[in-house]
Structures are given as structure tokens and as C-alpha cells.
A and B are shown apart, each in its own frame.
Chain A
Amino acid sequence: MLMVSDCADAQEPEFAHLVRQAKAGDAAAFEAILCQFERRVLLTAMRLLNGNLEDAKDAAQQVFLRLHRSLHQLDANRQLASWLYRITVNVCRDMLRVRARRPVVPLEEAGHYAMAGGTEDAMRRDEQMLLIYAALATLPQRERAAIVLRDIEGISTSEVARILGSSEVTVRSQISNGRVKIRKFIDRQQRRRL
């Protein structure tokens, strides 16, 4: 029978131990890994998929099922977070390819995050998030992945390069171009409102 328990925090060194236990078939250990990374994976997927929560949920499920399938060949001492980010980027890239053949849902209709509503500050924040999602959506896929990992997830450029399987020079160029494009997009949007 399927049991879903509450998540408890795990420290980074514990992950290797959890991976070893999950490899041995311990379902609780696999669930503990899930608990630690589900928020990060879901949010990263949502940013890569232009804020579509339903697609992001699908992507997160695929990522964790791939993890489950690959447990036996996963090096317990390797950084699990980097591995998950890489799979997330790959799964989202595949989904975007499929989605490119389908009609695009406008961002406003995607209903991706819980709009806090109510206070003026919260509404402004929600509006700003929509603007950023729209800006991210204008970037080429690889630039978007580089910006999401570096600027939103806060991962170092060298690690982003490893995750994306690119050279550090290429990733730096993608990050730089992405930042400039986002600034220009925000600038255009703000001028349009004035």
C-alpha cells in the first residue's frame, strides 16, 4: 500500500546515505529524497516551462521517475542536486519541443502560482512575477536554462556549465546575453505602460 509521509529536512551529507538506502530498495529513503528536492525541481521546471504549473508537475514527475529508474547506476557520492537539475533541464527541453507543435497557452491563463491577491504589495509582486515569466519566455531555451540556474537557483557558473554540458565560456555568454535581453524586455514593457 502507498504511504505518503511528512517530509523531514535532510542535510547534504545525508543524501549519499539516502541514495544508498534507496538503491537497496528502501521506499522511505526514496521518499525522503523526493521531499528534499520536489520543491526545487518543480519550481525550476515551472521557470523553464514559462510558468505552466500543469506542465511543471508532469516534468517533476518524470524527473523523479527517471531518478527511480537510474538509482542503480547513480553514484551515491556524486552531487544529486546537479544530476536532478540536469534531468529537469532535459525533460523540460523535450516537453517544450512537444509543446512547440501544440497551441501555446497564454501566460495569464496558465494559472501557474497561487496569486496572493489582497494587499497592494502582493499584487505588485505577482505582476512583477508575470513580467519576469514573460521575459524568460522570450529567451532561447539554452539561455533561459542558464539564467534560471545561475540567477534564480543561484548555482555557480562552472556548475551550471557542468549541468548543461557546455563550456564555462559558452554558459557565461548565454548568461550575459540573457540578462541583457531581460533588461531590455522589462524596459520596453515599462515604457509601454507609461
Chain B
Amino acid sequence: MSCDKFEPLIALYIENDLAQAEAQAVESHLAVCDACRKFGAEMRVSQEALKVLRTEFVDDAVLLQVRTEVLSAASHRQRVVAWPRYAIAAGLMVALLAGWMWQMRPRARLELRPIAASVSAPPLAATVPVPQQRTRLARVRRHRPQAAPVFKSEPLVVKMITDDPQVVIYWLVDQNGG
């Protein structure tokens, strides 16, 4: 093996980075090669110079500055991260409350009777002309209170206005639709 091939191995050998067999091969070569021994000695010197960095000094103020920045950013991040969680929790609470209120809502049992069915009474046909009758019937429907509950105990009263202001027809409808 030529010296060029030994150079990378020597660079590892000086820091005990070789397996035993490789280290023995390097030692055997160094024993007979002056140039490689010199190379190895120079490598040791440059490695010592490199390790000067291990004694490098950093001011405590610099470390404190880094730490302060990190802790400040971390605590800010924690607040930002926590915000959506609170929002989701609040949303769930509102949804639960709304569901509960929906379940508890008062349920009125009102029976609404279709007024139109009650109003299709024949008596008008005799006294009122047909087109006008339709108009009046329509008006009657409009004047009725909307969706008024019809209670079983009271009769339904329908007031019909004719063209003659002196003639007003009242129509009472009993609970059985009579």
C-alpha cells in the first residue's frame, strides 16, 4: 500500500478511530516510513490546535440573552397554541347548551283548522254574484287572524261582508264542522 493510501488512515489513527487490525497495519507502516511518521506528527499538532476550540469562552450574558428570548417566545407560543383549544371548548359548550334548550322547549299542542274549508259555504251563492263572491271570500280569508287556534269548546264565527253595507252575514260553525 502506498503512502497516499495511508494518509487517511493515519488521520484516523492519531485519534484512535481505527479498528484494531487497521491500527496494526498503520503502526507497521509508520515503523518503516519516515514521511508518514512526519505526516502523523504534523497531524497531531493540527489536532491539538483544533482542540483549542474546546476551551472557547462564551459570556454568561450571551447565554442569558438566548435563554430569555427562548422562554419568552415559548410562553407566547403556549398562549397562541392554547387559544384555539379554548375556542373549541367554548363552541362545544354552546352547542351542548343549544341542544339541551331544544330538548326542553315548550311544546304547545294546538290544533289549527283550515279556515278555507270552513268558508266554502254555499249560502252566499244565492245572494251574491259569483265573481264578487270570490273577491269577498278572498277578503274574508285575509281578514281572519292568522293561524288562530280553534278550541274545541267554542264555535267558529265567520263574518261575511256583502256589497250592501246594511247586509252582514254571520256564519257559525260548530266543532263537528257543521
A31 touches B67 (CB 8 A): yes
Contact status B67-A132, CB under 8 Å: no
Q: Are A151 and B46 in contact (CB under 8 A)?
A: no
Classify the interface of chain A: helix, strand, loop or mixed.
helix
A19 to B71 Cα, complex, angstroms? 16
**A65 & B50 in contact (Cβ 8 Å cutoff):** no
By secondary structure, the B interface counts as helix
Residues on A with beta carbons closer than 8 Å to the beta carbon of B167: none
Contact B71 A4 (CB under 8 A): yes
Docked-complex contact A183 and B62, CB < 8 angstroms: no
Contacts of B75 in A (CB 8 A): 2, 27
Contact segment of A38-46, A82-90, A92-100: A38-46
How many of B's residues come within 8 Å of A, CB to CB?
A: 39
Question: Which of A10-18, A56-64, A73-81 lies at the interface?
Answer: A56-64
B77 and A65 form a contact (CB under 8 A): yes
Interface contact B63-A179, CB-CB below 8 Å: no
Interface string of B56-86 (1 = CB under 8 A from A): 1111001111111111111101100000000
* Measured CA separation A23–B66 after assembly (Å): 21
Inside 8 A of B46's CB, which chain A residues have their CB? Answer: 179, 182-183, 186-187
Instruction: Tell me how many residues of A have a C-beta within 8 Å of chain B.
Output: 49
- Whether A65 lies near B70 (C-beta < 8 A) is yes
Give Cα A128 to B53, complex, Å: 9
Q: Are A34 and B71 in contact (CB under 8 A)?
A: yes
Nearest CB in chain A to that of B14: its residue: A179
B161 at the interface (CB under 8 A from A): no
Knowing A131-B49, A132-B52, A186-B46, the reply to whether A177 touches B77 (Cβ < 8 A) is no
Q: Which of the candidate stretches B5-13, B101-109, B150-158 sits at the interface with the other chain?
A: B5-13
Q: Is B17 a contact partner of A157 (Cβ separation < 8 A)?
A: yes
Is A129 located at the chain interface by the 8 A CB criterion? yes
Q: Is the CB of B70 within 8 A of A64?
A: yes
CA distance A27 to B15 in the complex (A): 41
Do the beta carbons of A129 and B56 come within 8 Å of each other? yes
The answer to whether B71 touches A2, judged by C-beta atoms less than 8 angstroms apart, is yes
Task: Considering the complex, give the chain B residue whose CB is closest to the CB of A184.
Answer: B46
- A:119-177 near B, CB below 8 Å: 125, 128-129, 131-133, 135, 147, 150-152, 154, 157, 172-173, 175-177
Q: Mark B16-55, 1 if CB is under 8 A from A, else 0.
A: 0100000000000000000000000011011101111111
Can you offer 11 A-B residue contacts whose CB atoms are under 8 A?
A30-B74, A38-B63, A43-B58, A61-B69, A64-B70, A150-B15, A179-B12, A179-B43, A182-B50, A183-B11, A186-B46
User: A interface vs B, CB < 8 Å?
Assistant: 2, 4, 25, 27, 30-31, 34-35, 38-39, 42-43, 46-47, 53, 57, 60-61, 64-65, 68-69, 113-114, 116, 125, 128-129, 131-133, 135, 147, 150-152, 154, 157, 172-173, 175-177, 179-180, 182-183, 186-187
